[in-house]
Homo-oligomer: A and B are copies of this chain.
Amino acid sequence: MDHDEFRRLGHQLIDWIASYRERMEKLPVMSPVKPGQVKARFPAEPPRRGGGAAAGLAGIDADILPGVTHWTHPSFFAYFPSNASYGSVLGDLLSSGLAAQGMSWQTAPAATELEEVVMGWLRQMLGLPPAFTGVIQDTASTATLCALLCARERTSGFAQNHGGLQGGGPPLTVYASDQSHASIEKAALLAGFGKDHLRLLGTDGRHALRLELLQAAIEKDKAAGRRPCAVVACVGTTATTSIDPVKGIAALAAKHGLWLHVDAAMAGTAMVLPECRVHWEGVEAADSLVVNPHKWMGIGFDFSAYFVRDPEHLVRVMSTNPSYLRTAQDGEVRNLRDWGIPLGRRFRALKAWLHLLDEGVEGMQARLRRDLANARWLVEQVGQTTDWELLAPVHFQTLCLRHVPTDQRDEKRLAAHNLAIAERVNRSGKAYVTPAVLKGKQMIRVSIGAESTERRHVEAVWGALRAAARTV
């Protein structure tokens, strides 16, 4: 493809994206395709001859779009808000066009330094003290793995440089609540701790970690000759957006020498609002913390913000220094290859930069407050309706609902009934919600916060849920 064809197809594609987003509201939120249906539209063998890009792009409406679940749809209430603002789309396009490889400072100085700039902006926006240094990771799963690896090495005195976890020392243990995200168990297992050394502790009526259980577990492990290593506190769990008592956990972590990692992947964005920061009181004591601006904040995936108190420790765990990667500026600059697992790094700071320039802190705050108000409105509606109930406190923008028809108390039937409601709504294409199980109870999660979601869309999903409840 030459420069002029790129210009022509590029303009076409920009227009296609704008038109896609303009007409999105009329598309079914959840893709209605059957397994195998998309695959069948593509040849099993690679194209021998080139020149097929224009034809490929001309086919996206027929070949690709039916297989897309529209995450930025105004009636997307599933999982979590996953916005990708126009500003961030343009920033990402610039990154693709520049094709800068930010593994070392020298290989892309702007990628390294603009990352420092935007991570500084985000730190301030989240109300975090200057003691934290930020670096972009792809996802919270990866950031949490980095955190547990750093914890492992701090507690073991850098055993990776000797016997690793195979050196025969006392087993290291990790703690989190039974409501913590699956990525925490995954990270603990991948880091080699083993399921036997992971304590997923019980939660209270508000689904928050119970401090007395944490204290008892730490003390029991110590008494048994094990070495408590790390605790993960969740600010906004996945199922219910519950909030662990960060301050109390931090005190226990300090007392027993544990690494404190705070997982605020989804709800961290709320901290752009000063009135929400009461929810992570004590966070300044964390060793590491992850917030996903690629969720509610609006920066297109993938952009996970990982903050650490001791970047030198992170670098010591992650660094490699073979001769072919050494440059003249080593020692005076950041080489971001040493700040995470992958060596290569995309220029992801650009999409954060353009998003923040475009929206501004005040614009973002207004949008987040709109979403919180929409959630409060829906909470009020549920409160005024006798046969619907909330299964968890609503701290931010996620509601955990279920429909309980009069006199129906059989949990198995209630589960089937609520699963059927969610499936009915999702298959209608009018809205997309997430069915999930909370401590044995089938619920319907409604997560509000797509950039384009207005009050009328929340009214519509509430109407759709009630209609489905009457007819399934």
Among B9, B38, B56, B194, the residue within 8 A (CB) of A109 is B38
Q: Is the interface of A mostly helix, strand, loop or mixed?
A: helix
Q: Which residue of B lies closest to A180 (CB)?
A: B322
Instruction: Assess A190 versus B30: contact at CB under 8 Å? Given A18-B7, A53-B358.
Output: no
CA distance A110 to B31 in the complex (A): 9
Q: Restricting to A45-82, which residues have a CB under 8 Å from any CB of B?
A: 45-53, 55-57, 60, 64-72, 78-79, 82
CA distance A107 to B6 in the complex (A): 30
A360 to chain B, nearest CB (A): 3
Instruction: Assess A3 versus B22: contact at CB under 8 Å? Given A93-B93, A108-B68, A113-B36.
Output: yes
| Contact A161 B195, beta carbon cutoff 8 Å | yes
Does A17 count as interface, using CB distance less than 8 angstroms? yes
Among B88, B121, B197, B318, the residue within 8 A (CB) of A164 is B197
| Contact A324 B3, beta carbon cutoff 8 Å | no
Does A249 count as interface, using CB distance less than 8 angstroms? no
- Identify the stretch in A136-144, A209-217, A256-264, A283-291 within 8 Å (CB) of chain B at 4 or more residues: A136-144
- Identify the stretch in A328-336, A371-379, A385-393, A401-409 within 8 Å (CB) of chain B at 4 or more residues: A328-336
A349 to chain B, nearest CB (A): 10
| Contact B93 A13, beta carbon cutoff 8 Å | yes
The residues of B that contact A85 with a CB separation of less than 8 Å are 1
Does A459 count as interface, using CB distance less than 8 angstroms? no
A139 to chain B, nearest CB (A): 4
Does A437 count as interface, using CB distance less than 8 angstroms? yes
A414 to chain B, nearest CB (A): 15
Q: Which residue of B lies closest to A170 (CB)?
A: B166
Instruction: Assess A343 versus B141: contact at CB under 8 Å? Given A114-B42, A362-B48.
Output: yes
Given contacts A6-B17, A37-B113, A57-B90, 11 further A-B contacts (CB under 8 A): A1-B358, A6-B90, A7-B14, A48-B361, A83-B99, A139-B344, A142-B342, A160-B194, A181-B322, A183-B343, A239-B322
